[in-house]
Amino acid sequence: MADYAIFWDASKCTGCKGCQSACKCWNLLPSPLGKNVNEPTGSYQSPLDLNGNTRLLMTFQENEVSDDKKWGVEWSIGRRSCMHCVNPACATVCPSGALSVDEDTGFVRVQDDKCIGCQYCSGVCPFDVPRYYAGGSRINKCTACLDRVKNGGAKPVNGGTGTGNPRYSVPACVHTCSPAALDFGTREDMLAKAYARVQFLQNKPVNPCSTASVYGDVQLEGTHVIMVLKYAPETYGLPADPKVGILPTLTSWMKPLAAFVGVATIAGLGLSYITGLGYKRDTLHFDPDTEETIDMDTGEVVCVGDGHGHKIRAAADAASDAAVAAVATVADKAQEGEE
Amino acid sequence: MTKYIQRHSRQTRITHGVFISSCILLAITGLFVFVPPLTQALPASVVYGIRMAHRVLAAIFILFPIVSAIIAPKGAGHFFGKYLRKWDKDDITWLIRFVPYMLGPKRVHMPDQRIVKSGQIVADGMLILISLVMIISGFGLMFGGTGLKSVSLLFHDIGFVALILFGIAHIYLGAGIFQPYRHTVRLMFGDGKVSESDALYHWGHWAREELSSGANVVEKPE
């Protein structure tokens, strides 16, 4: 499997939202068209969050700056979309196969016609990305334009290597990016490009950016979106140390465990059924006057009142105690054998 | 003439019937999300429909016992009260002998029991606990945010695994598949009556109390 990645450089991004529009256009995602139908957000960010028709969102965060060199507001323009994790928890928990890893590129593929709307993926995504449309019944998230990439609608731009196959191309967002903040190529190449850019940002003679970093290399064992960040990840709304946790793994264990418990229960009860075959119980009768319980088949008194004093009952108890003791002995021997 | 003791009222039987039917249907519909090959074998729209049916069944599963308890609060109190009694020596002995008895009912004899066996208290208590886990985690899955949803999914799955164990065992004994438990199916899916002989075998202490008082005893031709 080849590994490809989308590269995004926050230090070059101008926040023009061309990528956001291109994503909508290519993927036929509708937007509200009426005048002033979008609620004012007090931000350049629109809409405020990802939604069932918005797979890619440029985020705008104002950070107050006040030191002896600068004052006022500094913008963090971020890119919010699927990070295409190398080990995607969403695909692990997806029962319908709507989310899966594309073997040719490593991106997390979406087949929304398979989505059953369980929304398990949203519960495990550390970036809170999956959104739904059609009343919550269908997932929508970035597909890395696999339809373009695999069928070649355009050629690599911005210096990226594309997929190396002339039939393949780049995602719509990458293709439209005018300041060359976005790029597409092998993950290895995009990482090399990102580290080179970070080194440049940290060491440039004017306004060096000591906080510049690469995001997506080591986070979550790697993602297929490689970012160059000027500031700390939190400034862009990204978790500094994203974690999936153990829950998806534990959940994946439940299926084989359920199968084992089901088979073991049925096998155990099947054995019980076999040992019970041919069992016949005598008819019992209780005489309230004498408080005696009588076995109607033998005519014997098997129990007096609520007590257990009768010899037959005592014999039965002794037999059952012997059986219990025998089971305990076998268990002890088995334990000794293990030790 | 054979003596019978009225063990369960009609309302109890109807509530149990609706509850267990919805529970079984919930398990079946849940399988279409729990088992990926089953999910993928059907069109997504069909599985979505099954998921919605799962929610309707869940509403019945939750609401029917509540409505039943509101209609008959005394009965509901009696139902829960019998599980909260003190345990005696017979109860402990019954539990200790349970596994050998299940694997050798011809050899192992069980002690007399009160209105519910100690094993019933444990098993039914587990079923009630599992039901609560499934209901709470089900709400978490429906309405929870990112973190709560994944925790709820795990607990819903754990509940399902436990339900497989206790549910199948409950059906095995309650439906009278186990030879010594024959005829027990009529208690919940028949007229709610237990014959004198069966009552003495299963719940000896309780049967003697009932037969002595005669309040719930009826005689029917064999």
Rounded Cα distance, A27 and A21, in Å? 10
How sure is the predictor about A1, in pLDDT bands with cuts at 50, 70 and 90? low
Which residue from B minimizes the CA distance to A277?
Answer: B179
Contacts of B40 in chain A (CB under 8 A): 96-97, 114
CB of B99 less than 8 A from some CB of A: yes
- % chain A with pLDDT above 70: 88
Residue A310 has pLDDT above 50, yes or no: no
Which pLDDT value is given to residue A166?
53
**Average pLDDT, integer, range A16-32:** 94
Q: Please list the residues that pair with A235 across neighbouring strands.
A: none
Which pLDDT value is given to residue A301?
86
**Average pLDDT, integer, range B6-23:** 96
Min distance B3 CA to chain A CA atoms (Å): 9
Residue B139: partners with Cβ closer than 8 Å, 6 or more residues away: B152
Residue B211 has pLDDT above 70, yes or no: yes
Number of Cβ within 10 Å of residue A49's Cβ equals 13
**Average pLDDT, integer, range A323-335:** 73
pLDDT digits (tens, 9 = 90+) for B178-199: 999 999 999 999 999 999 999 9
Inside any domain, residue A176: yes
Contacts of B51 in chain A (CB under 8 A): 116-118
pLDDT digits (tens, 9 = 90+) for A147-157: 888 877 556 66
Residue B217: partners with Cβ closer than 8 Å, 6 or more residues away: B3, B4, B5, B6, B210, B211
> For chain A, how big is the Rg over CA atoms in Å?
34
Inside any domain, residue A263: no
Inside any domain, residue A274: no
**Average pLDDT, integer, range A282-305:** 86
pLDDT digits (tens, 9 = 90+) for B139-171: 999 998 777 888 999 999 999 999 999 999 999
Name the B residues in 183-222 with CB < 8 Å from any A CB.
196-197, 200-201, 204-205, 207-208, 211-212, 214
- % chain B with pLDDT above 90: 85
Domain assignment of residue A202, given as a range:
4-93+143-236
Name the A residues in 133-192 with CB < 8 Å from any B CB.
137
Cβ atoms of residues A301 and A294 within 8 Å: yes
Inside any domain, residue A99: no
Contacts of A248 in chain B (CB under 8 A): 150
Interchain proximity B179–A279, CB inside 8 Å? yes
CB of B33 less than 8 A from some CB of A: yes
Residue A68 has pLDDT above 70, yes or no: yes
Interchain proximity B44–A124, CB inside 8 Å? no
Inside any domain, residue A182: yes
**What is the DSSP annotation of B116-183?**
S-HHHHHHHHHHHHHHHHHHHHHHHHHH--HHHHHHHHHHHHHHHHHHHHHHHHHHHHHTT-SGGGTT
Q: Domain holding A66: CATH number?
A: 3.30.70.20
pLDDT digits (tens, 9 = 90+) for A252-270: 899 999 999 999 999 999 9
Report the 3 state secondary structure along A244-307. Answer: CCCHHHHHHHHHHHHHHHHHHHHHHHHHHHHHHCCCCCCCEEEECCCCEEEECCCCCEEEECCC
Inside any domain, residue A50: yes
Which pLDDT value is given to residue B146?
74
Which residue from A minimizes the CA distance to B180?
Answer: A279
- % chain A with pLDDT above 90: 54
How sure is the predictor about A338, in pLDDT bands with cuts at 50, 70 and 90? low
Which pLDDT value is given to residue A157?
62
CB of B107 less than 8 A from some CB of A: yes
Inside any domain, residue A149: yes
Residue B87 has pLDDT above 80, yes or no: yes
More confident residue, A71 or B14: B14
Task: Tally C-beta pairs within 8 A across A and B.
Answer: 174
Inside any domain, residue A251: no
Sequence length of chain A is: 339
Rounded Cα distance, A125 and A201, in Å? 31
Structure token digits, residue A23? 């994503």
The domain total for chain A is: 1
Which residue from B minimizes the CA distance to A252?
Answer: B154
pLDDT digits (tens, 9 = 90+) for A193-229: 999 999 999 999 988 899 999 999 999 999 999 999 9
**Average pLDDT, integer, range B101-112:** 90
Interface test with A, best of B3, B4, B115, B153 (most A CBs within 10 A): B153
pLDDT digits (tens, 9 = 90+) for A128-146: 999 999 888 899 999 999 9
Rounded Cα distance, A18 and A38, in Å? 18
Eight-state DSSP code of residue A50: -
pLDDT digits (tens, 9 = 90+) for B21-79: 999 999 999 999 999 999 999 999 999 999 999 999 999 999 999 999 999 999 999 98
- Omega before A88 cis (within 30°)? no
Which pLDDT value is given to residue B150?
86
Which pLDDT value is given to residue A303?
75
